[in-house]
Amino acid sequence: MSEATVREALEAVEAGRPCALATVVATRGSTPQKVGAKLLVRADGGIAGTLGGGAVEAEAIREAREAMAGGAALRREYALANETDEWGLACGGTMVVFIDPLTPEARPWLTAAAAALGGGEPVAVTTLIDGPGRLGARLLARRGRTEGSLGAPALDRAGTDLGARLLETDGAEVVTVEGATLYGEGFAPRPALILAGAGHVGKALAGLGRFLGFRVVVIDDRPEYASRERFPEADEVLARPMGEALRGYPVTPESAIVVAARNQDLDYEAARAALETPARYVGLVGARRKAIQVTERLAAEGVPPERVRELRSPIGLDLGARTPEEIAVAVVGEILMLRRGAAGRPMRLDERRSD
């Protein structure tokens, strides 16, 4: 889910500029984008986000402009036979897209979603996308309370239940209730990429992490390194001892911590503090010899064996990386591989495959 697209939609609504938001609400088979992908279409011809490019996106843009002119939301199903996405990948599935011309009524949910994605309170938004009632009606759920209405008590109850589930899973779901179809989507803070070390690798990781949508946090005990001037792309910069800062930071299981300190003692202190957090990904930059020495010391000084085994060091995918920028690609590639449950193998077709 693109924070930038949500923020652009909010800015357009606040400025009174006509726009429509197209959201993928369901897919079948191979599609260029998954559920939750968004495309903002502005009346001035500008767009933000993507549905994957190609003829389907062009058709969605055309219909979004018609929706802006007519003022009514609509649901469309696009078959992607013989379609390729903007990267040239062939698709053969179906995408269901909900196109909603945004009015001032959208401001509360867009504000809440943008705040959540930026690190605020998680929210879930349930939208009526098909069936009787006003398409585009929304129910906004926060922990313990809701705002808005889907137009009928039964739908509001279903939307409240759906919102409660999505607050826990940060996903998307479609349900059918009394002939109406509801689409719910959770909005939560972006996963944090916490960089313990503000050297060359940390600098490269900060830029790449920001580009990929992580909430970038930089920690270093040297104020001349941990500064806004050096890390303008970071969401937070903490000039504090790394171990202390990691122990005090609100790390979640979805956080990724990368340790790249300037010497092995600091590496050890930061790695130990990182392994005390619930972060599923903790990695240490360095050669195999350092990895062995640090892990042996962690084990000898009482860090639980199962947690020591979870330390990823040497860090990253084996790309033959040498420069800080190449190391950053290898590290973030490994983080994405684990987040998506992927294998990290080349994607080319097996040469033995017959057509």
Identify the CATH number of the domain in which residue 221 sits: 3.40.50.720
Shared domain for 143 and 43, answered yes or no, is no
Say whether both 183 and 221 belong to one domain.
no
The band of 236, judged by pLDDT with boundaries at 50, 70 and 90, is very high
State how many domains the chain has: 3
- Examine the domain organization and report whether 95 and 56 are in the same domain: yes
Mean pLDDT confidence for 295-302: 95
Report yes or no on 277 lying in a domain: yes
* pLDDT score at 120: 85
The answer to whether residue 59 scores a pLDDT higher than 80 is: yes
Per-residue pLDDT at 282 exceeds 50: yes
Determine the structural domain holding residue 226 and report its residue range: 192-340
End-of-domain residue from the set 126, 156, 187 = 187
Q: Is residue 7 part of a domain?
A: no
The pLDDT tens digits of the residues spanning 200-226 come to: 999 999 999 999 989 999 999 999 999
Domain annotation covers residue 346 = no
Domain final residue, candidates 102, 118, 142 = 102
Question: Are 84 and 134 members of one domain?
Answer: no
66-99 per-position pLDDT tens digit: 999 999 999 999 887 655 554 444 567 889 999 9
Lowest mean pLDDT: which of 152-166, 272-286, 303-317, 335-349?
335-349
Residue 273 backbone zone (phi > 0: left; psi -120 to 50: alpha; other: beta): alpha
| Residue 354 covered by a domain | no
pLDDT of residue 196: 97
Statement to judge: residues 91 and 178 lie in one domain: no
Let me know whether 253 and 291 are in one domain.
yes
User: Are 36 and 64 part of one and the same domain?
Assistant: yes
Specify whether 83 is located in the same domain as 130. no
Is residue 24 domain-shared with residue 87, that is, in the same domain? yes
Cα gap 318→93, rounded to integer Å: 33
- Give, in degrees to the nearest 5, the angle at Cα 296 between 293 and 300: 135
Domain membership flag for residue 137: yes
In a domain, 350, yes or no: no
Is 111 in the same domain as 98? no
Task: Give the Cα separation of 77 and 24 in Å (integer).
Answer: 10
Percentage of the chain beyond pLDDT 90 is 77
Asked if 150 and 163 sit in the same domain, the reply is yes
d(CA 128, CA 58): 24
pLDDT confidence of residue 354 = 47
Q: Which of 49, 77, 102 is the last residue of a domain?
A: 102
Q: Report if residue 3 sits inside a domain.
A: no
Question: Does 87 share its domain with 197?
Answer: no
Per-residue confidence (pLDDT) for residue 90, from 0 to 100: 53
Q: Is residue 9 part of a domain?
A: no
pLDDT of residue 339: 87
pLDDT band at 352 (very low <50, low <70, confident <90, very high): very low
Does residue 248 surpass a pLDDT of 80?
A: yes
